[in-house]
Amino acid sequence: MIEFWYEFASTYSYPAAMRVEHLADQAGVVVHWRPFIVGPLFNEQQGLTDSPFNAFPVKGDYMWRDLQRVCDREGLPLHHPSQFPRNSLLAARVAICGLEDGWTPAFSRAVYQANFVDDLDISNPEVLAPLIASVGAGPEHVLAAAASAPVKDQLKDHVRQARERGLFGAPSFVTADGELFWGNDRLEQALDWAVRHQDMESA
Amino acid sequence: MIEFWYEFASTYSYPAAMRVEHLADQAGVVVHWRPFIVGPLFNEQQGLTDSPFNAFPVKGDYMWRDLQRVCDREGLPLHHPSQFPRNSLLAARVAICGLEDGWTPAFSRAVYQANFVDDLDISNPEVLAPLIASVGAGPEHVLAAAASAPVKDQLKDHVRQARERGLFGAPSFVTADGELFWGNDRLEQALDWAVRHQDMESA
C-alpha cells in the first residue's frame, strides 16, 4: 500500500499522477489516492501566500525547465499554463467525491491534462463538468455534492492528515509504516520501500 | 564536460561529491569541481539568513531522514552533525587552492567525511590541516594562501558565476551548453545530458 498525496495546482504532481498506477501495478502495490490542498501548509510552515515558484523566480525558472525535461523523458505533453498556480479547491473536492466509486484516479489524470496540457481553468465548473462525465459520473450531481459540507470537511481532513504525516509539498508518498517520500523523483524509491515493508509483514 | 557546483555545508552535496567522479568516468565526462558558498544566494534570492532546513523545521526533519535513505542506498556512512550548518568559508577557500594542482576532489571528499561522518568542525584550521596533508599538499602554505586576496576573490567569482548560471542551491550541475540540474538526484540525468551534447558536438 502507498498513499499518493497530490495537489492539482502542483506541477510535479502532474507526472507523478500519470506514472503512479503503472509503476505501482508493476510493483504489486495498491495506491490510495489522496487529493489535498498544499496552500495552507505552505502558509503555516513557510509563511508563503503564493507558490514558492512564483515567490522565488529563480526557483520557478528552474522548475519549468526541469519539468519540461521530466515530461520529455516520460513522453508526457506539457503546455506551460497561462495561469499558475490555478485554484485547485473545487477540483480537489470533486476528486474527493469519486473516492468511494473509484473514479478519482481517472478524473485526476483528466484534471492534470486540462491544467498542464490543454491550459484550461480547472477552477471553472464548466471545465470540470465534461471531465466528470468522461469518467462515467453525473456532473450536476457531483458538482452539487462537491459543494456540500461533508465533502468540504473530508478535504479539510485530508489537509489535517497531510500535516500529521509531516508533508510540506506535493506530490508526496507515504507507506504503510509511515515513511514519507517527497517529489515525483522519489516515486520509485517509495514503491521499493513499500514492497520491502510488505515482505517484512508477510515474513 | 560537467561543472559540479558544491558547498561544504550542504547535506546533499555530500553524496554527490562521493558519487560524481565514478559516474562521470563511466559516462566519459570530465568533471570541473566548482566549490562555492550558497549562503549569499539563499539570502538575496529568498531572504534567508540560515539554512532552509533550519528555517523550516518540517523540511529539515524530512531532509535528514531522506539523506539517511540516500546514504544507505549508496553505502555511505552518515553521522548527523552536532552543528548544522557549519561555516564552510575557509574549507571552500582551501578547495580553491587545490584547483591548479588537482587535489581539490580528494580534499573535498575528505572535508565531507569530516563534516558528515566524523562530526568535526570544518571551519577550524586545525581540522583542515591534516586533510590538506592527506592529499599531499602543505597545510601551512595552503592555509596562508587561502587567506590571501586572490583566493578570496576567486571564491567570490565562483559565487558570481553560480548566480549567473541560475543556481539557487547545492549541489548543482551545469553542462557545456548551460543546462542546469539541481540536486544529488539529478546527477545521472546531468551526465546523460552532457553525453548527448558531446555526441551532438562531434556529429
How far, in Å, CA of A17 to CA of B23, rounded?
Answer: 30
Taking an 8 Å cut-off on Cβ atoms, the answer to whether B166 and A58 are in contact is: yes
Facing residue for B62 by CB, picked from A69, A182, A189: A182
The arithmetic mean of pLDDT across residues A60-69, rounded, is: 98
Distance CA B66, CA B169 (A): 17
ipTM (interface predicted TM): 0.94
Cell numbers linked to A25: 501495478
Q: What is the pLDDT of residue B203?
A: 47
Minimum distance, in Å, between the CA of residue A161 and any CA atom of chain B: 15
Are B5 and B32 contacting, i.e. CB atoms less than 8 angstroms apart?
no
Q: Report the C-alpha gap between A187 and A192 in whole angstroms.
A: 9
pLDDT at residue B157 in the model: 98
Instruction: Write the CATH number for B175.
Output: 3.40.30.10
Question: What pLDDT score does A168 carry?
Answer: 98
Contacts of B62 in chain A (CB under 8 A): 166, 168, 180, 182
Grid coordinates of B22 = 565514478
Shortest CB distance from A59 goes to which of B56, B69, B168? Answer: B168
Neighbouring-strand partners of residue B32: B3
> In b/e form, how buried is each residue of A154-171, taking b as 16+ CB within 10 angstroms?
ebeebbeebbeebbbbbb
For residue A201, name the pLDDT band (cuts at 50, 70, 90): low
Residue B65's SS3 state is helix
B69 interaction partners in chain A (CB closer than 8 Å): 189
Mutate which of A53, A54, A67, A69 to test chain B, going by most B C-beta atoms within 10 A? A69
C-alpha cell at B51: 539554512
CB contact under 8 A, A168 and B46: no
- Reply yes or no on whether the pLDDT at A149 is more than 50: yes
Q: For the beta carbon of residue A124, count every other beta carbon within 10 angstroms.
A: 14
State yes or no: pLDDT of A117 exceeds 80.
Answer: yes
- Cα separation, B182 vs B27, whole angstroms: 19
The span from the CA of A1 to the CA of A203, in Å, is 16
For residue A62, give the nearest of B59, B73, B180 by CB distance.
B180
Which of chain A's residues have a Cβ under 8 Å away from the Cβ of B189? Answer: 69, 73
* Cβ contact A69–B189 (<8 Å): yes
Phi, psi of A172 (to 5 degrees): -135, 155
Q: According to the model, what pLDDT value does residue B200 have?
A: 60
CB contact (8 A) between residue B45 and residue A58:
yes
Would you call B69 and A166 a contact, using CB atoms and an 8 Å cutoff?
no
Residues B11, B53 contacting (CB under 8 angstroms) = yes
CA–CA distance, A194 with A74 (Å, rounded to integer): 23
pLDDT confidence of residue B199: 59
- DSSP, collapsed to helix, strand or coil, labels residue B33 as strand
B10, B13, B51, B172: which one is catalytic? B10
Give the Cβ contact number of residue A143 at 10 Å: 19
User: Which residue of B44, B51, B64, B66 is the best one to mutate when testing the A interface, meaning the one whose CB has the most A CBs within 10 A?
Assistant: B66
Q: Calculate helix-pair angle for B89-97, B139-146, nearest 10 degrees.
A: 110
Angle CA B86–B20–A185, to nearest 5: 85
Question: Which range of residues forms the domain containing residue A131?
Answer: 2-202
Q: What is the pLDDT along chain B (203 residues), one digit of tens a residue?
A: 999 999 999 999 999 999 999 999 999 999 999 999 999 999 999 999 999 999 999 999 999 999 999 999 999 999 999 999 999 999 999 999 999 999 999 999 999 999 999 999 999 999 999 999 999 999 999 999 999 999 999 999 999 999 999 999 999 999 999 999 999 999 999 999 999 988 565 54
Q: Provide the annotated active-site residues of A.
A: 10
- Beta bridge mates, A173: A4, A181
**Tally of domains in chain A:** 1
Cross-chain Cβ contact B56/A168 below 8 Å: yes
Reported as a single tens digit per residue, the pLDDT across A171-194 is 999 999 999 999 999 999 999 999
CB contact at 8 A, B201 and B34: no
Q: What is the DSSP letter of A55?
A: H
- Identify which of A59, A180, A185 has the shortest CB distance to residue B185: A185
- Residue A114 pLDDT > 50: yes
Task: Calculate the average pLDDT of chain A.
Answer: 96
Sheet holding A2-6, edge to edge: A31-35, A2-6, A172-175, A180-182
Q: Which residues of A touch B (CB under 8 A)?
A: 45-46, 56, 58-59, 61-62, 65-66, 69, 73, 166, 168, 180-182, 185-186, 189
B42 to chain A: which residues are within 8 Å by CB?
A: none
Cβ A56–B46 below 8 Å, yes or no?
yes
Q: Would the CA dihedral through A122, A14, A57, A79 be positive or negative? A: negative
**Chains A–B, number of C-beta pairs less than 8 Å apart:** 39
Nearest-Cα residue of chain A relative to residue B54: A46
